[in-house]
Amino acid sequence: MSTALNPPSSLVDPVRWPDVARIPRGVRADVATVVAERIFRHAVSRLGIRVMMPDGTVLGGDRSGAAPTMYVHEPSALARRIGSGGLIGFGESYLAGEWDSDDLAGLIAQFASSVEQLVPAPLRAFRTAVLKRQPAGDRPVPEQSRTNVERHYDLSNEMFATFLDETMTYSSALFDTSDHLTTAQRRKIDRLLDQAGVGTGSRLLEIGSGWGGLALRAAQRGAIVDSITLSTEQQRWANDLLERTGLGDRAHVSLSDYRDVTGTFDAVVSVEMIEAVGLDFLDSYFDRIAAVLRPGGRAAVQAIVMPHHRVLQTRNTYTWIHKYIFPGGALPSMELIEASAGRAGLRIVDDLAMGDSYARTLDLWAQRFDARADELAELGFDNTFRRMWDFYLRYSEGGFRAGYLDVHQLTFVREGGEA
């Protein structure tokens, strides 16, 4: 079973976590609960999972013990949350401690692998009815983007340090067979810099600094680095790192929106920042890269993607991830990326898919996060927060394991010069 603690919803702080502490009630919730129970049982019957109910009843087609098992502690509360909130309610039920799993990522991978077939045809209209639209206030327009970033990346540098490796890299590593996490992260960084042609004397723009690991490595190669972020915590950490290592004269991190960048650069690198851009602003993102990249210059972009048809199906849907982790975020498809980049005069010349590496990265992050529960508590993060991050990391891992998500390193050349 998950190592996360199991707080009953009565122990959840109702001020900090109002929708986790509150179980939906009322006539509409009663009706929705009946439908949700049917949907849930139908889904379980079609998947290679087991569901253990409090009375010992086992649901599901796989009773071998090898399949991921979901342990339901409060079935009525779970059904009410699913009925009123769909997948958001499913996640909130986990935060409330109403269910656990011995393999959370494996369980979610099973759901993700069959997501389009889980709801029986007569009930699909109900599923559409409970889906929520993203709040207009979360759209990543210039005046909102910094707030969206702060809500995630400015939680606490010390919190992120509990599960990231020593490079403080918060994006997929690139693994060989037996790598440690740090080795795999450095391989990923070096490959991106190689693809962008970054070396001695290169002028590099990094869009999305993280905690400075890539800027540091580029400066060590002899590049001059301008890195931007919207996170004050990341900026402080990264500039301190660059000063401590004696490279502050070669690399600097500024608080800036990508839309405001000017100048001319030999190379651009952007690692898993495109997910915060928003689908409506992909053209703005690639237009800005093309505008500052010299003719023939290269851009290396690491991007989490979804299949195109799923992007179209879900582009306006408000999800658990939006509500609790990444407000305003949106995953593009390869088709959308290629089209937007092409309109900006950027041509893809290399494409490395590495979803398996991301699943492994997330598994290691989750293990490290769980192992540091005491430190997280000392930092002021309560058990509901820890369950939220456990769910987020394993939810994401499950998506990559199922192939519902993928991550690509993409190399672009700006037309008009030699590559």
- Which H or E element spans position 223? none
pLDDT tens digits along 94-139 = 999 999 999 999 999 888 776 555 444 444 444 444 555 565 555 5
Q: Report the pLDDT value the prediction gives residue 135, as an integer from 0 to 100.
A: 59
How far does Cα 364 stand from its chain's mean position?
A: 15
- Alpha carbon distance 400, 171 (integer Å): 13
pLDDT tens digits along 246-301 = 999 999 999 999 999 999 999 999 999 999 999 999 999 999 999 999 999 999 99
Query: What predicted TM-score, i.e. pTM, was given to this entire model?
Result: 0.90
> Is the pLDDT at 328 greater than 90, yes or no?
no
- Residue pair 257/142 in contact by the 8 Å Cβ criterion: yes
Q: Report the pLDDT value the prediction gives residue 178, as an integer from 0 to 100.
A: 75
Q: Report the topology of domain 137-414.
A: Rossmann fold (3.40.50)
- Alpha carbon distance 326, 151 (integer Å): 8
- Alpha carbon distance 91, 328 (integer Å): 18
Q: Report the pLDDT value the prediction gives residue 9, as an integer from 0 to 100.
A: 53
Question: Tell me, what amino acid is at 294?
Answer: R
What average pLDDT does the segment 321-337 reach?
Answer: 93
Instruction: Between 109 and 338, name the one with better pLDDT.
Output: 338
> Is the pLDDT at 153 greater than 70, yes or no?
no
- Alpha carbon distance 56, 44 (integer Å): 16
Beta bridge mates, 348? 412
Q: Report the pLDDT value the prediction gives residue 166, as an integer from 0 to 100.
A: 96
Measured over the CA atoms of residue 222, residue 235, residue 357 and residue 166, the dihedral's sign is positive
| Domain positions in the chain | 9-130, 137-414
Q: Report the pLDDT value the prediction gives residue 8, as an integer from 0 to 100.
A: 53
- Alpha carbon distance 203, 267 (integer Å): 7
